[in-house]
Amino acid sequence: AGRRSASAVNASAFSFEQIGGQDRAKQELIEALDFIVKADEIRKLGIRPLKGILLAGPPGTGKTLLAKAAAHYTNSVYLAASGSEFVEMYVGVGASRIRDLFKEARTKAKKAGKDSAVIFIDEIDVIGGKRDGGQQREYDQTLNQLLTEMDGIHTNDKPRILLIAATNRKDSLDAALLRPGRFDRHITVDLPDKKGRKHILSIHAANKPLHPDVDLDRIASESFGFSGAQLESVMNEAAIYAMREDSETIGDHHLAMAIDKVMMGEKTDREATN
């Protein structure tokens, strides 16, 4: 149990501008963060304070990036953990890891002289899945501890905890997590539309020598259904194809091959899990 349950990284360099597309998700997240940060004003209006924000959507769409940007936006320290880290053989270990995570967040924020800490829990469904009749006793303790910690979050705490969780299986979450006063703000982070894909492609092309004839608008059309993570892969693979051909720039055909490769990779992954 000596493994660290959370990794603190310097997220201060990461901002919302570096996330492509996801305009609505960004806007909703910023509004939710403003709610938390301006808690006093919000309370005057009689609005219930917010405890946790849930980002829901398919893999690779930028949920982790959004959480990092949230830390930057609110000038918070950033701690990340994944639901799967709390699943342990021994009863009680998961729960104590949750406790440690919140403790560590408060300590880190104090040390860094910051008023708040963002705790990001990816794959929340692993610990917060629906309870099925006493089957998952260990998970229950972990989930109960998380609920206890959430109940202990107050918007005027110093340092303040901003809890963000992500899932790609929102339907499987236990109702206890979604209740008012828990994760009661849900933000959908969907696959990007064409405009979003073009934006994401341009972000990942920024440091690459694209041939001037390359039309990102067309590449965006051709990558229908791709996630942000896949689009990042497309740009990276295209650069590798260009290198193999000793080409100084990345051209249309490199991108076409890269799109095929990423699409094929998806298929192979799916076949492997089926």
**Residue 22 binds ligand ATP (CB under 6 A):** yes
19 versus 77: smaller Cβ distance to ligand ATP: 19
User: Mapping DSSP to helix (H, G, I), strand (E, B) and coil, where does residue 162 land?
Assistant: strand
96 versus 168: smaller Cβ distance to ligand ATP: 168
Residues in binding contact with ligand ATP, number by CB under 6 A: 19
74 versus 167: smaller Cβ distance to ligand ATP: 167
15 versus 144: smaller Cβ distance to ligand ATP: 15
Of the residues 62, 83, 128, 129, which one makes contact with ligand ATP according to CB under 6 A: 62
Of the residues 88, 104, 122, 174, which one makes contact with ligand ATP according to CB under 6 A: 122
Site map 216..245 versus ligand ATP, x via CB under 6 A: ------------xx--x-------------
Q: How far is the CB of 163 from ligand ATP (least distance, A)?
A: 16
Cα gap 237→15, rounded to integer Å: 25
Of the residues 5, 20, 125, 210, which one makes contact with ligand ATP according to CB under 6 A: 20
Cα gap 213→274, rounded to integer Å: 40
Tokens linked to 47: 């609005």
Residue type, 178: L
12 versus 168: smaller Cβ distance to ligand ATP: 168
**Residue 65 binds ligand ATP (CB under 6 A):** yes
With beta carbons less than 8 A apart as the criterion, state whether 74 and 114 touch.
Answer: no
**Residue 64 binds ligand ATP (CB under 6 A):** yes
Burial classification of residue 78, based on how many CB atoms lie within 10 Å of its CB (0-12 exposed, 13-18 middle, 19 or more buried): buried
Cα gap 238→41, rounded to integer Å: 50
**Residue 83 binds ligand ATP (CB under 6 A):** no
By DSSP bridging, strand 52-56 and strand 116-122 are unpaired
User: Mapping DSSP to helix (H, G, I), strand (E, B) and coil, where does residue 251 land?
Assistant: coil
Q: Taking Cα atoms as reference points, which of 106, 184, 177 lies closest to residue 145?
A: 177
**DSSP H helical ranges for 152-215:** 175-178, 194-205
Instruction: Give the binding site for ligand ATP (CB under 6 A).
Output: 19-22, 59-65, 122, 166, 168, 200, 203, 228-229, 232
